[in-house]
Chain A
């Protein structure tokens, strides 16, 4: 099992756009280790002869026609009703790129 370093945690947090405190990174390092330990358990099993399974109930992809379901469509006001900031009927979210 590859060891997860604190640098890994900080790197992953950066990729996920999460700000984490020093104490949190220690906690997350431990939790990451726990998750990877579970993955390692599965490595102990020989699955060479087992067919791949997507889901235990055998669900299949379901497609539908590209038809608008008016019952389900939210009005613009309803769609924006939980938003903090709106402008001209749009959600306002923080900018992704710097302006310079």
Chain B
């Protein structure tokens, strides 16, 4: 069951030549065939993944960061020659002519793309229920939803259909499903990771980010994705750091704030208690945990609503104009 491993474990096995790329990819593909019919975590599965793995095994170079790592990508990242739908029938037969920068960086690092994951159509939602390709289920309980909009990536990761995955977030679309499914979701600062080739929702808000099995893997993937991209003028000039070098260190003296206003009265106690408990754990490890006051989050939501809906409208309208008018007949 090599599909159960995380990036670091697979990387080490490859380094010591204990397992082939084909074996790892095959175990993921076999598991997808078995459990995906229950989870609907994919819009498209890469039928050539095993051939690509075989090719990898014939290569001599094996020291790139993600060499032979089977990865899945949210279906709003353009993948050259591979269908990209954003979970909307409008794009049912859309075959991108170029890769998103994120996809280029992952492939450049040696990753194998197993497939594109289900999401709320156009990323409009927080549940993955609005997909035109079926509702993704939460692997822990099939009667529940995985959160969204990157629900397919989170469900695929925690159910071990892949080694790791990529999602994107405008307001909670990485962190939400990661939390609901119990994996690690990282939303980088806006501009840290290029948006080039990501089907946009709110251009001044969108952030691609990893959804992984471990914290290490998230830091590791961010090292690969982060950095200036000439094709996205909003990417930061600040050089990325070796994020993994910060892991495993003491957190003594670190200042951590818990925003009091975000512990909403309507929040379920099983959630609220765990946030408070997490603060305690950090405190016991030596961090200074303080409850801080922020502006009422309802104003943040109001601000967000105005900005997001304006930007989204403009982008969707552009899609409609460029796509609907020239689209090939959607498949029935």
Which residues of chain A have a CB within 8 Å of any CB of chain B?
16, 35, 38-39, 41-42, 45, 55-57, 59, 61-62, 64, 69, 72, 74, 78-79, 81-85, 91-94
Contacts and interface: CB of A to CB of B under 8 A. Distances in A.
Contacts of B189: 57
A91 B305 CA distance: 35
Interface string B67-105: 000000000000000000000000001110110000000
Given A38-B305, A84-B329, 15 more contacts: A35-B309, A39-B306, A55-B190, A55-B204, A57-B191, A61-B233, A74-B97, A78-B97, A81-B97, A82-B326, A82-B328, A84-B326, A84-B327, A85-B326, A93-B326
A77 to B, nearest CB: 9
Given A41-B298, A55-B204, A74-B98, A93 B306 contact: no
B contact face: mostly helix, strand, loop, or mixed: loop
B308 to A, nearest CB: 10
A92 B189 CA distance: 41
B104 to A, nearest CB: 11
A74 B301 CA distance: 39
Contacts of B141: none
A78 B305 CA distance: 36
Nearest to A75: B97
Nearest to A41: B302
20 contacts: A16-B317, A35-B305, A35-B309, A38-B306, A45-B299, A57-B190, A57-B236, A59-B191, A59-B234, A62-B233, A64-B233, A69-B230, A72-B98, A82-B93, A82-B94, A82-B326, A83-B326, A84-B326, A91-B325, A91-B326
B231 interface: yes
Nearest to B93: A82
Contacts of B18: none
Contacts of A35: 305-306, 309
B303 interface: yes
Contacts of A42: 299, 302-303, 306
Most chain A CB within 10 A, of B94, B97, B309, is at B97
A21 B303 CA distance: 30
A42 B303 CA distance: 7
A81 B80 CA distance: 12
Contacts of B298: 41
Contacts of A45: 299
Closest 4 CB pairs of A and B: A62-B233, A38-B305, A41-B302, A38-B302
B314 to A, nearest CB: 11
Nearest to B304: A38
Contacts of B301: 38
Contacts of B299: 41-42, 45
Nearest to A85: B326
Contacts of B317: 16
A94 B324 CA distance: 10
Nearest to B190: A57
A15 to B, nearest CB: 11
B222 to A, nearest CB: 16
